[in-house]
Structure 1
Amino acid sequence: MSDIKNLEQRIIRALDRISRNVDAVRAAPVQQQTPPPAQAPDDTAELRAQLDAERAKNAQLTERVNAVRQRQESSFTSLERRLARMTEQLDLQSLEMLRLKKANTKLIEANRQLRDGHEAMVIEPSAINRSLVAELEALRAERAADMVEMEDVLGELKPLIATGDDHA
């Protein structure tokens, strides 16, 4: 990118020098005593040809710079969208992991109560119910976390599948 800027600046300086020389040639008083040299029209034509060539190169470089700039902007926009989507997915995963962690904590506590009841030879039906509810909640939380992870994987695969369909 810096090479393009350097070339563009050099071309602009060259065009300015050529323009000043052309203006100087036009502004110079015409000497009527001596005829102009025979090569003067050729020099002017050559300078004009060089000027046109430099302008064409400058236009090409400008187009290339604009194309590179547009590509960078589109990549940046694409990366921003991808970052936003991944941040959202990370937030969902964090919530599901928190839910899973809470459910597992409840399950551990319910199992501890069952063990304590078993050791004391007194098992309360409510402890069994709490244990089963905690286990069911842990399974649901694990399933939800798996679903979020599956959606993330599918989200990453969809663009690859779409490009694969384009090539087919």
Structure 2
Amino acid sequence: MSDISALESRITAALDRIRRGLETAGQGSETEMSLRKALEAERATNAELVVRVQSLQERQDSQVAKLTARVETQAAQMKALDAELQRLRASNEKMRSVSTQLRDAVTEGLRPELVEDAVKAEIEALVSQRAADATEIETILAELKPLLKEQPNAAS
């Protein structure tokens, strides 16, 4: 990009010198005609460079937008995965607590509500584990889909 900017400023400077030369030269001379031709050539080159710079800028902007969108998507996926993992940890902690109480109750005498609490905690832990696994699979699939789309293009 800096090379293009440097070339553009050199061309602009050359155009200015040519313009000044044209202003000082008499009308109709061969020098003036050649300078006019050179000026037009420089203008055409300058216009081409401007179009190329704009094209590069648009391409860069689209790449940045794609990467930004991808980062935002991955951040949202990671946030969802983290939430599921936190839920799983809480559920497992509750299951451990209820299991400890159940173990203590078995040694002292079984109370029916502890068995019910233990079963509920275990079911909740299994549901949380399944949700965490599903979220993790979705995250992995989201990462693989762009790679699978690129795969046929790479083979070409």
Query: Normalization by structure 1: what TM-score?
Result: 0.83
Residue 103 of structure 1 corresponds to 91
2:118 pairs, out of 121, 131, 145, with 131
User: Residue 145 of structure 2 aligns with which residue?
Assistant: 158
- Map 1:140-159 to 2 at 5 A: 140-159=127-146
Three-state SS of the structure 2 residue aligned to 1:16 is helix
Equivalences for residues 1-150 of structure 1 within 5 A: 1-26=1-26, 40-41=29-30, 43-120=31-108, 122-150=109-137
Q: Distance in 2 between matches of 1:93 and 1:129?
A: 29
Quick check: which one's helix share is greater? 2
Structure 1: segments with no counterpart, 5+ residues: 28-35
1:162 deviates by: 2.2
Alpha-carbon distance in structure 2 between the residues aligned to 1:47 and 1:149: 69
User: Which amino acid counterpart does residue 51 of structure 2 have in structure 1?
Assistant: E
Q: State the one-letter code of the partner of 2:149.
A: A
Offset from partner CA, 1:37-75 (integer Å, 9 cap, x none): xxx41x223222322221222122112101110011101
Structure 2 unpaired stretches of 5+: none
Decide which moves more: 69-78 or 122-131. 122-131
Superposed displacement of residue 103, structure 1: 0.5
User: What is the CA–CA distance in structure 2 between the aligned matches of 1:16 and 1:26, rounded to whole Å?
Assistant: 17
Q: Do the aligned residues in 1 keep the contact of 2:95 with 2:122 (CA within 8 Å)?
A: yes
What percentage of residue pairs aligned between the two structures are identical?
38
The amino acid of 2:115's aligned partner reads I
Two-structure CA RMSD over aligned residues (Å)? 1.9
- Whichever of the two has the greater Rg, that structure is 1
Q: Normalization by structure 2: what TM-score?
A: 0.89
Give the letter aligned to residue 43 of structure 2.
R
Aligned residues between the structures = 155
Q: 1:46/1:140 Cα in 2 relative to 1: closer, same or farther (>3 Å)?
A: same
Preserved CA contact (<8 Å) 2:91 2:124: yes
Cα distance between partner residues in 2 of 1:86 and 1:125: 46
How far, CA to CA, are the matches of 1:124 and 1:150 in structure 2?
40
SS at match of 1:17: helix
Q: Which amino acid aligns with 1:134?
A: A
